[in-house]
Amino acid sequence: MPKDNSKPPKPKIATPPEAAILSKALPYMQRYDGATIVVKYGGHAMGDPDLATSFARDIVLLKQAGVNPVVVHGGGPQIGALLEKLGIKSQFKGGLRVTDQDTMDVVEMVLAGSINKKIVCAINKQGGKAVGISGKDANLMTVRKLEKQIADPDSNLMKIVDLGFVGEPTKVDPHIIEVMIESDLIPVIAPLGVSREGHTYNINADTFAGELAVKMLANRLLLLTDVEGVLDAKGNLIQRLTIEDARALIEDGTIKGGMIPKIESCISVVQNGVEGVVIINGLQPHAVLLELFTDHGAGTLLSLGRATPEK
């Protein structure tokens, strides 16, 4: 009988799942190489030590991968807790907190002080080079007093309410952010601004991040919240939305309540030059990395259209 000189087939070696994940991430890492990503960090994730550490590692990894992350943070729950501890009672009008001078002092202390420096230290502990500033530094964010209209419960007519030291941006000068990025630093920004008269104002963190993303022509604005994203009528996550989709969902009542102003703000940001805005659940570990470096993402992406399948 003739000898069989054929070689037995080599055993197939399974690819480790970690390697497969990294390999699939490569196209997305290439896509965002050198890109500016503005991340609004807020919600209950800020109060969870494990999630805070996870977030810091993600931001450092983005920087190591060639992405330029810019972090804007909130701090509503922490501000409320310190006001209560100090015995400063908050006044509300139309469900909105009135920021008087005493409250503003606490807001600045918490936002530009304790919270800002905790985030900076967390990022630096993971090997990053974070620097904490506020919108007051180098005139990053010039503001005017916000005029808010609410419905009078008695007459049902719209009226302007005085919310005190709550501002809205009028001018954004990102020069200080650009200098920090060029110096390999990670900016961590408290959402405060200064008026032309020199008064300090508190700014909604989503609004602050959106205005900054527009001025810097960021590739992405990531809004880390306490919700999964935009849900359809059955409660399922909607992964992608065009502006037309979003407006239709508002009109038919699928998008409602506090999500309406958030989506309207996202629409404005996209219309003004940012490629896409993503609403993400910040309670999901590594949500930032999942959104940017995987094909399925981690939240709802709102963009001009569906010209490409890329996240």
Kindly state the average pLDDT of the residues 201-206: 93
The tally of domains found in the chain comes to: 1
Backbone angles phi, psi at 50, to 5 degrees: -65, -45
Residue 149 pairs in a beta bridge with: 160
Inside any domain, residue 119 = yes
Contact 280, 287 (CB under 8 A): yes
Cα Dmax for the chain: 105
| Cβ proximity of 307 and 246 under 8 Å | no
Going by DSSP bridges, is the β-strand pair 200-202/192-194 parallel, antiparallel, or unpaired?
Answer: antiparallel
Asked whether residue 273 is domain-assigned, the answer is no
Residue at token pair 């810097």: 216
Bigger pLDDT: 259 vs 176: 176
Cα separation, 227 vs 114, in Å, equals: 25
In a domain, 216, yes or no: no
**Dist. CA 165–CA 223, nearest whole Å:** 24
Residue 112 within any structural domain of the chain? yes
Q: What pLDDT does 9 receive?
A: 64
Query: Does residue 190 lie in a domain region?
Result: yes
Closest of 3, 60, 28 to residue 296, by C-alpha: 28
Kindly tell me the sign of the dihedral angle through the C-alpha atoms of 282, 285, 289, 292.
negative
**Which residue segment(s) compose the domain that 122 sits in?**
67-208
Q: Is 137 part of a structural domain of the chain?
A: yes
Is residue 154 helix, strand or coil?
Answer: coil
We report the CATH number of the domain holding residue 153 as 3.40.1160.10
Could you report the per-residue pLDDT of 233-279, keeping only the tens digit for each?
888 888 899 999 999 999 888 888 888 888 999 999 999 999 999 99
pTM: 0.86
Q: According to the model, what pLDDT value does residue 152 have?
A: 65
Q: What is the pLDDT of residues 21-31, one digit of tens each?
A: 666 766 667 77
Residue 41 located in a structural domain = no
* 217 assigned to some structural domain: no
Q: Using CA atoms, how far apart are residues 85 and 101, in angstroms rounded to an integer?
A: 17
